[in-house]
């Protein structure tokens, strides 16, 4: 006898879990450094436009597809057509591969909570060397990665209500509290006003075509779209929930965390005379140097920041693990704990390879890159953008319009006056914009053999879609 499918216990729990899925390393790490490299306030305005145009449309679509079918990614597509199973499988594969390196970075954030109190800030000029030595070490980062992954396993094995929802109810409010505490400190620093000015006064002279592409990509990837997370979470929703309103709340929460992270970081950078264009090294190298200049409170605020980063990473990785687990439960009738243990064991091996690729295995290359970059590029530059585009095409051209309207209005009992606008944007505009992101990102990949490999995987999934 098939077990009854799990559901969210409350609307608040769902919103915290879904917002947590969207909020991740991209909000606390990627958004601030992209803002710094692309003109501050000008980038933020473009980003907000992209969130409203693309992010909200796709978020609403994923919720509708998930709840309509009552199944996770693969089953949701298959419920309309077997030929579309590959699009769901691509989402599952994306989540699987992202979890091949994401826990490594999550482990770094945990390690830096401890390091904040054990001498990390003692010699500011050596912080860069400390980070390089840490991530290339053969054992220490692996220990933190295993601890981080074990926390994910514990949460997901507890189920939707008892694990994912319960964790979200605690972690998301805590994340906002930590952000508020850090912001209170940084905006009170002498010279912090210049950082706020950088964020609030747009400088459009710095805007180029790459700025728009960066904003489009960040808006899309920050919301955990194109990887089956929101389809899976939507499949656990009851029929009384108002999908458009929930999509708006989750999108707003995700965007607010990104903006608050920028407000927390840039005043401190300007207060201590550090260039805002620090790039990807902003979090683990530049910010500790800032905290080192805060005196006796430096270690405290450093630990708070990395705790914030850890929580943001954890809320996302939990949803990525759930995408794969839900697929095994729905399509292969596997018991939850067994699915969690098998999946996480394979992910652990991938994470070990990713971590070692920055040290002991740095000389081993696959398609010209180490394992960490292999998993990152394959998903970020290829799978996610194509997955999002496929979803828009699927919703716009293969699902029945009346079914979508029925789902988004709860059978006509809830008003959704923007349905026609949403439908036409999703069907005609969003696929074109995502195509621009996908093509630009793929063409920018230097490792052309990796690009061909990624596209080949998608082609194979399409050919064998009926067997997935």
pLDDT tens digits for 234-273?
Answer: 999 999 999 999 999 999 999 999 999 999 998 988 888 8
From residue 345, alpha-carbon distances to 98, 152, 316, 375, 453 in Å are 14, 12, 19, 17, 25
Tell me the two tokens of residue 57: 């449309």
Mean pLDDT of 116-138: 93
Cα angle 237, 243, 245; round to 5: 130
Residue with tokens 């009926």: 466
Query: Is residue 2 scored above 70 in pLDDT?
Result: no
Q: Per-residue confidence at 160, pLDDT binned at 50, 70, 90? A: very high
Q: Give residue limits of the domains in the chain.
A: 11-467
41: CB partners within 8 A, 6+ apart: 198, 199, 200, 201, 202, 203
DSSP 335: -
Alpha helices in 227-297 (DSSP H): 229-235, 243-271, 286-292
pTM (predicted TM-score) = 0.93
Return the SS3 of 358.
Answer: coil
CATH architecture classification, 11-467: Up-down Bundle (1.20)
Residue 338 makes CB contacts below 8 A (sequence gap 6+) with none
User: Distance between CA 41 and CA 198 in Å, rounded?
Assistant: 6
pLDDT at 280: 61
Compute the distance between CA of residue 247 and CA of residue 253 in angstroms, rounded to an integer: 10
C-alpha radius of gyration, the chain, whole number: 21
pLDDT of residue 1: 38
- 380 pLDDT band, cuts 50/70/90, is confident
Mean pLDDT estimate for the chain:
91
């Amino acid at each position: 006898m098939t077990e009854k499918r799990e559901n969210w216990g409350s609307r608040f729990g769902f919103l915290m879990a879904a917002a947590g899925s969207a909020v991740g390393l991209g909000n606390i790490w990627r958004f601030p450094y992209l803002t710094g490299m692309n003109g501050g306030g000008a980038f933020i305005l473009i980003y907000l436009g992209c969130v409203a145009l693309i992010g909200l449309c796709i978020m609403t679509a994923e919720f509708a597809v998930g709840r309509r079918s009552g199944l996770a990614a693969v089953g949701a597509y298959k419920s309309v057509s077997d030929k579309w199973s590959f699009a769901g499988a691509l989402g599952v594969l994306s989540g699987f591969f992202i979890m091949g390196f994401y826990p490594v970075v999550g482990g770094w954030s945990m390690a830096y909570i401890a390091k904040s109190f054990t001498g990390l800030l003692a010699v500011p000029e050596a912080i860069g060397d400390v980070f390089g030595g840490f991530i290339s070490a053969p054992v220490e980062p692996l220990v933190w990665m295993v601890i981080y992954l074990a926390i994910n396993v514990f949460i997901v094995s507890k189920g939707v209500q008892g694990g994912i929802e319960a964790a979200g109810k605690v972690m998301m409010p805590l994340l906002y509290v930590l952000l508020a505490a850090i912001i209170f400190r940084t905006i009170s620093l002498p010279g912090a006003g210049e950082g706020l000015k950088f964020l609030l006064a747009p400088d459009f002279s710095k805007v180029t075509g790459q700025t728009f592409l960066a904003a489009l990509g960040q808006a899309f990837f920050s919301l955990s779209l194109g990887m089956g997370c929101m389809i899976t979470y939507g499949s656990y929703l009851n029929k009384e929930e108002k999908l458009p309103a929930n999509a708006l709340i989750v999108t707003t929460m995700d965007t607010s965390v990104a903006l608050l992270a920028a407000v927390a970081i840039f005043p401190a950078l300007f207060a201590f005379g550090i260039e805002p264009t620090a790039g990807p090294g902003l979090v683990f190298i530049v910010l500790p140097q800032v905290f080192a200049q805060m005196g006796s409170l430096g270690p405290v605020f450093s630990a708070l920041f990395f705790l914030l980063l850890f929580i943001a990473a954890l809320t996302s990785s939990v949803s990525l693990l759930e995408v794969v687990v839900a697929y095994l439960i729905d399509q292969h009738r596997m018991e939850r704990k067994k699915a969690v243990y098998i999946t996480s064991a394979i992910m652990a091996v991938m994470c070990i390879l990713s971590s070692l690729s920055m040290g002991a295995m740095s000389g081993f290359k696959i398609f010209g890159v180490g394992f960490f970059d292999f998993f990152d590029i394959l998903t970020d530059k290829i799978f996610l953008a194509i997955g999002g585009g496929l979803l828009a095409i699927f919703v716009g051209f293969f699902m029945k319009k009346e079914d979508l309207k029925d789902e988004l209005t709860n059978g006509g009992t809830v008003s959704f006056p923007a349905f026609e606008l949403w439908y036409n944007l999703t069907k005609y505009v969003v696929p074109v914009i995502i195509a621009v992101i996908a093509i630009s990102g793929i063409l920018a990949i230097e490792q052309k053999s990796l690009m061909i490999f990624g596209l080949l995987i998608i082609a194979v999934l399409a050919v064998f879609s009926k067997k997935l």
